[in-house]
Amino acid sequence: PAGRVAPLVATIVHGLIANALLAMLVAVAFLACGLPATGSLVAGLGSGALGFFAYGVGLIGAQVFASGRSANAFGVWVMLVAYLVAGIGNALGTPSADLQRIQSAPLAWFSPYGWIENARPWADDNLWPIALCALVAAVLAVASVALQSVRDLGESLLPERRARATAGAALSSSTGLVWVLTWPAILGWAIGGFVSGLLATSLSSVLSQAATQLPSVEQLLAALTQGGSLAVGAIVIFFTLVGVLAACCGVQIVGRARQEEAHGTVEALLATPVGRVRWLADYVAIATIGAAATVGGAIVGAAAGLAGQSAPDWSLFGDAVVVGAGQFVAALVFIVVTALVLTVLPGATLAVGWTLVGLATVVGLFGPLYRLPDWIVHLAPIAAAPTVTGSGTDVQGLWWLVAAVIIGGAASLALMRRRELAGDG
């Protein structure tokens, strides 16, 4: 008979195999591009080791928290903080004379991302930082097994927080219920937006120095910013990323509606006078608020970055508002399209929503670098949104974005009125 830790051990083995395959695929992909074999192998091993570290964090979260949602949130936040720590550590590092590499500050070594970066494939090809990451990942996996063996079956190390005996004012409506269910996620995306906005106005001097020393960096920025200044270019690039964050926030919230439907928990709500259209409209409305909070956080971050400078150029704040508003409209497109998929093909809601965000990110951000035709690049809402260029504000595809939001939103609500609930089966 299988012991109580057997399912967890099987899960660990499954994750180990998956990340080993990831390492192999990354190495093969780099080899196929003609890169040196040793560096390709180091890059592949680094990817696999970092993936297994994240897996180990998730295993610990599964032991500590009572719900899968809490465990997932724990894992995401740990990796986001680790990424931020590595980024700050690299920003505080010492650049070489030719600006070709940076000696990371000690802070970067408190992050697994910092370990993997300092493997430096195709340069130093260090294996020991990868071994360190793999060792810590193994310790996390073993620790999860130890925790599994001492906790009660079906319980968590941290007990679930007891709900209030009586509902608060926020739960007096179905809209308030959606807000209560989703505000932690909105807060997380808004913090991400704030950090992005802060970086947008704080790194302009660094970009100027890099572009002066490295023509390749100057060409890259020119392609992404359509000939604008480097400071404006930083605003455009980072706020395009903010648009991606806002879209992710919206898709996650609309996807939550699909999860509630699939699990059957929405049936109790619909047994009240709340109808299906109102239920979907609530999620779309809160998703819109989430996207607005993400963009708003970025604008506040941009202002904070300017306020921290000795001689700030406050015209950049106006540019941040323009680009941020445009990216908010782009995020609305993803929200209404995901809602439309929810009404037409509910089982594919999450897959289609996240796939569209991923494709738009690749095409919208990197399409100009790969010299894709403009009409293909502007199929991505984040690339078609209003922006600022060297000659002023360019509304680009604002009107078709607005039309898509209106038509998609109206169609999703109209179709929701006509369909029945679709469970997991």
- Structural domains in the chain (count): 2
| Mean of pLDDT values over 21-34 | 90
Q: What is the pLDDT of residues 311-333, one digit of tens each?
A: 777 888 888 899 999 999 999 99
Q: Hey, what amino acid is at 164?
A: R
**Mean pLDDT in the chain?**
84
Round to whole Å and give the CA distance between 339 and 341: 5
- List the one residue out of 130, 156, 142 whose CA is nearest residue 42: 130
Residues 291 and 402 grouped into a single domain: yes
| φ/ψ (deg, to 5) at 167 | -70, 145
Question: Which phi-psi region, left, alpha or beta, contains residue 311 (left: φ > 0; alpha: ψ -120 to 50)?
Answer: beta
Please check whether residues 242 and 353 belong to one and the same domain.
Answer: yes
Amino acid at position 205, single letter: S
Q: What's the CA gap between 254 and 382, in Å, rounded?
A: 19
Does residue 372 fall inside a structural domain? yes
Q: Give domain status of residue 84, yes or no.
A: yes
Query: For the ranges 60-74, 79-93, 147-161, 298-312, which has the lowest average pLDDT?
Result: 147-161
Residues 276 and 129 reside in one and the same domain: no
Distances (CA, A) of 117 to 103, 124, 216: 11, 11, 21
Instruction: Work out the average pLDDT over 197-205.
Output: 78
Specify which of 2-16, 50-64, 170-184, 194-208 reaches the highest per-range mean pLDDT.
50-64
- 60 lies in a domain? yes
Distance CA 425, CA 355 (A): 22
Q: Apex CA 189: angle with CA 397 and CA 140, to 5°? A: 135
DSSP string computed for 372-398: --HHHHTTSHHHHS-EEETTEEE-TTH
Indicate whether 393 belongs to any domain.
Answer: yes
Same domain, 2 and 117: yes
**164 within some domain:** no
Same domain, residue pair 30 and 98: yes
pLDDT tens by residue, 253-308? 999 888 888 878 787 777 788 888 898 899 999 999 999 999 999 999 999 988 88
Structural Rg of the chain based on CA atoms: 23
Task: Say whether pLDDT at 65 is over 90.
Answer: no
What are the Cα distances from residue 125, in Å, to 97, 149, 217? 21, 39, 24
- Tokens 């609530």 — which residue? 282
Q: Which of 137, 158, 179 is the last residue of a domain?
A: 158
Query: Do 292 and 376 reside in the same domain of the chain?
Result: yes
Q: Domain residues for 124?
A: 1-158
Q: For residue 119, give Cα distances in angstroms to 79, 92, 251, 407.
A: 19, 18, 35, 50
- Is the residue at 316 inside a domain? yes
**pLDDT of the residue at 405:** 93
Q: Would 165 be classed as within a structural domain?
A: no
- In Å, how far from its chain's centre is CA 299? 18
The owner of tokens 């680790």 is 82
Closest C-alpha to 261, from 181, 347, 337, 175: 347
**How many other C-beta atoms are found inside a 10 Å radius of the C-beta of residue 328?**
23
- Measured at the CA of 99, the angle between CA 93 and CA 103, to 5 degrees, comes to 25
Give the pLDDT score at 225. Answer: 59
Confidence of residue 163 (pLDDT cuts 50, 70, 90): low
Tell whether 128 and 184 lie within a shared domain. Answer: no
**Same domain flag for 129 and 106:** yes
Q: At residue 204, does pLDDT exceed 60? A: yes
Q: 216 and 256 in one domain?
A: yes
- In this structure, the answer to whether residues 268 and 308 fall within a common structural domain is yes
Q: Is residue 166 part of a domain?
A: no
Residue 106 DSSP one-character state = G
Nearby residues of 287 by Cβ (< 8 Å), 6 or more positions away = 249, 250, 251, 253, 254, 335
Mark whether 20 and 130 lie in a shared domain.
Answer: yes
Point out the domain boundary residue: 133, 158, 183: 158
Please check whether residues 140 and 244 belong to one and the same domain: no
* Least confident interval from 18-32, 199-213, 307-321: 199-213
Average pLDDT on 340-356 reads: 90
pLDDT of 421 higher than 90? no
Nearest to 360 by CA among 400, 320, 325, 330: 330
Q: Which of 158, 191, 214 is the last residue before a domain boundary?
A: 158
